Structure 1
Amino acid sequence: AFKTQLEEEGRFIAERGPSARRSEIKASGDFHLLLASVAGNVILQRFMEELVARSSLVIALYGRSGISSCGHNEHLQILDALENGNTVRASALMLHHIDHIEADLDLRVRSGPALRQALES
């Protein structure tokens, strides 16, 4: 299931335009939800559902790059570490991943797209 999800995410990254950006952000979020579901922890899964919904909106509104700041290669590396049982590396990669997402956000007050425009783009 993870490989299929990552292939879909990669396909959207290769595309360009507002529709592809929305789809790539959604596919990236779906990867996180799939990862949370594997843990078998209902509380974690609900938390991740809320977090993914909010962070996807934040990335759509404030992301500086043309694609989701959630790096596709980072997802591949995290999955590889987990599949190999290297939890220390997986944890380090996840922390780096979060830092990368945060660094890509431009949270300065500015006149930018309205919420409706961000959701439509």
Structure 2
Amino acid sequence: MSVGKSSEWDELEAQLQQAEQLLQEVKQRLSQVKTGQRDRQALQQQQADLQAEIKQDLPSEQKAQLKQELDKITEQLELVEVDLESRLLSWNSFREPFWQIVRFGGVGVLLGVLLKSCAG
């Protein structure tokens, strides 16, 4: 009987480790999304500033240089937006880790109650 219990504990421990790994992946993805959003805001601000400068009465050489800079920033902004779209948390990518966390959090609470009742 103790062999079966040991196997169950090993399985539970493996599932808990998997849930922890999934949670870390979700946290990492969230961090990447936050960084991407900050980058996007900074690039959008730079883009707006350059567009305002281009509208000013400047020599054509300086305007051409500003337009090149604006094109580079626009390309970077597009890359950041594509990266954000690919990393955004959708329910489908979040559903499995969420339910595993709920499931094993509940198991943890039950184990805590059982251990406390056995010890008390």
**Common fold by TM > 0.5:** no
Pick 1 or 2: higher relative contact order, CA cutoff 8 A, min separation 6. 2
Q: Report the TM-score, using the length of structure 1 for normalisation.
A: 0.29
Determine which structure has the larger helix proportion and give its number: 2
TM-score under structure 2 normalisation? Answer: 0.30
